[in-house]
Structure 1
Amino acid sequence: MKALIATLALCAATTAGAQHMHGAPAPASFVASSDKPFAALMNDAMAIMDRDMAAAPMNGEPGHDFVTMMMPHHQGAIDMAKAVLLNTQDPELRNLALGIIAEQQNEINVMRAWLARHPSSTRSQHEHH
């Protein structure tokens, strides 16, 4: 599990670094707008997701670290789905995107609730006493 989390963190940091080298820093938040081409929207979504995954507050507890990294990952999927909704009339893709938005948002809500029930300091407090 630690290897998976380390790999996810490395991938996020590497991709965020590559994005920064090739373009402007990630916007503060994602805005689905028809004023931008689809590729730019996808780049924004990826840059924000990568930045937020790399900045996830890790404490070494696998469950906590998994959840804090998965929340921005799921938000990235929501943002990408919003981008495709602006750019396609294909009914299958629109249904897929709408399903992604609903399911990923639900999972983010579940993860937030889990974090509220499992404070991030729990493991470190037990290890120090």
Structure 2
Amino acid sequence: MSQKAIGVIYALALLLPGIATAEQASLPVAEQHFTRGNAIAMDRMMTAMHLPSSGDVDTDFVNMMEPHHQGAIDMAILQLRYGRNPKLLRLAQEIIVEQRQEIDAMRLALGRPLLSPSPLPGRQLVLQTAPIHYHAESRP
């Protein structure tokens, strides 16, 4: 699937927030946003991991692991937005930092430039799936 087609699919997912399965519609709003954001993150990760072989094992490893780690970052951000468990919120923060460091280490190992310092370079789509909802139990 081309990058343009993938972009169109994601754009439609954002433009049609009222369309949901009956099962999703019965979930609390925050859970609906989490579920939709997680599906987008997983689809994006899986699509980005399906690459033709470069002919070099090291390059192929990094080319597949980078989107895998970015998927973990995207899912951790969703946990920070919608989760309530303080231990899991701390773990999500750690995942963001550690996965980002591992992406940087892999890129450096291949002599590639580092990406921007943001944990989501070019990945704002997951963050735009819904407004942020803060839970009184875990937020100021």
Q: TM-score, normalised by structure 2?
A: 0.56
- Partner SS, residue 98 of structure 2: helix
Q: TM-score, normalised by structure 1?
A: 0.60
Give the superposition deviation at 1:26.
Answer: 4.2
Q: Measured at CA, do residues 81 and 99 of structure 1 come closer, stay the same or move farther in structure 2, by a change above 3 Å?
A: same
1:53 pairs, out of 49, 61, 64, with: 49
Structure with more relative contact order (C-alpha pairs < 8 Å, separation 6 or more): 2
Q: Does 1:70 align with 2:70?
A: no
Gaps of 5+ in 1: 1-12, 14-19, 28-33, 118-129
Q: Measured at CA, do residues 92 and 69 of structure 1 come closer, stay the same or move farther in structure 2, by a change above 3 Å?
A: same
Give the superposition deviation at 1:109.
Answer: 0.5
Matched residues, number: 88
In the other structure, the counterpart of 1:8 is: none
2:33 pairs, out of 31, 37, 43, with: 37
2:95 pairs, out of 85, 89, 100, with: 100
**Could you tell me which amino acid in structure 2 is paired with residue 43 of structure 1?**
A
CA distance in 2 between counterparts of 1:111 and 1:89 reads 32
Q: Which runs of 4+ in 1 moved over 4 A?
A: none
- Pairwise CA RMSD: 2.4
**Could you tell me which amino acid in structure 2 is paired with residue 54 of structure 1?**
H
**Could you tell me which amino acid in structure 1 is paired with residue 45 of structure 2?**
M
State percent identity of aligned pairs: 42
In the other structure, the counterpart of 1:125 is: none
Instruction: Give CA-to-partner distance per residue, 1:33-84, whole Å, 9 cap, x none.
Output: x7x61100100100110111114x6312111111111000000000000001
CA distance in 2 between counterparts of 1:26 and 1:114 reads 32
CA distance in 2 between counterparts of 1:40 and 1:86 reads 13
Gaps of 5+ in 2: 12-29, 113-140
**Could you tell me which amino acid in structure 1 is paired with residue 95 of structure 2?**
I
